[in-house]
Amino acid sequence: MIELFIDGASAGNPGLSGAGVFVKNGKDSLQYSIELNEMTNHEAEYEALLMGLEKCLPFKDHIISCKTDSQAVFAAVEKRYIKNQKYAHYLPKIILLLDQFDLFFIKWIPSKENAVADKLARQAIYSQKKKS
């Protein structure tokens, strides 16, 4: 089973943003700190999901267990529906990627259990601030 931890962060709302993606495959792991454009925290969370799904495509024949501390992202995947129309444009992209996996599960976890992905998302923001 592949464990996927995702998190998005913004320095402001909107503001500089980042996505953190942490993929665990047994003892092996991959970590991605992805710089995003200026956006809201919710947008960064959806971007983190998209990036995480893309990073897991090589493992699409495995069981993917995704963990997020975003209730909005969790609900969007579970219901395949995004209530807030401001973010609805993410849904077709999400579904297109989800449908490529044999088995995909998502679980909401408290922020304290998502520390690695959170750190990666914040690193992406810090990296952008250093460039400015």
State the pLDDT at residue 132: 74
Taking only the tens place, the pLDDT of each residue in 43-79 is 999 999 999 999 999 999 999 999 999 999 999 999 9
Q: Residues 4-18: what's their mean pLDDT? A: 96
Fill in the amino acid letter for 48: A
State the pLDDT at residue 24: 97
Q: Based on the structure, what is the number of domains in the chain?
A: 1
CA 57 to chain centre: 14
> Beta 28-39 vs 15-25: how paired, if at all?
antiparallel
φ/ψ (deg, to 5) at 36 = -120, 165
The stretches of 31-114 forming alpha helices (DSSP H) are: 41-56, 71-79, 90-98
What CATH number has the domain bearing residue 66? 3.30.420.10
Name the pTM for this structure.
Answer: 0.96
Q: Residue 27 sits in which domain range?
A: 2-131
Residue 6 has pLDDT above 90, yes or no: yes
> Beta strands of the chain (E only): which ranges?
2-12, 15-25, 28-39, 63-68, 103-108
Q: Residues 14-41: what's their mean pLDDT? A: 97
Residues in the chain: 132
State the pLDDT at residue 114: 98
pLDDT bracket for residue 20 (50, 70, 90): very high
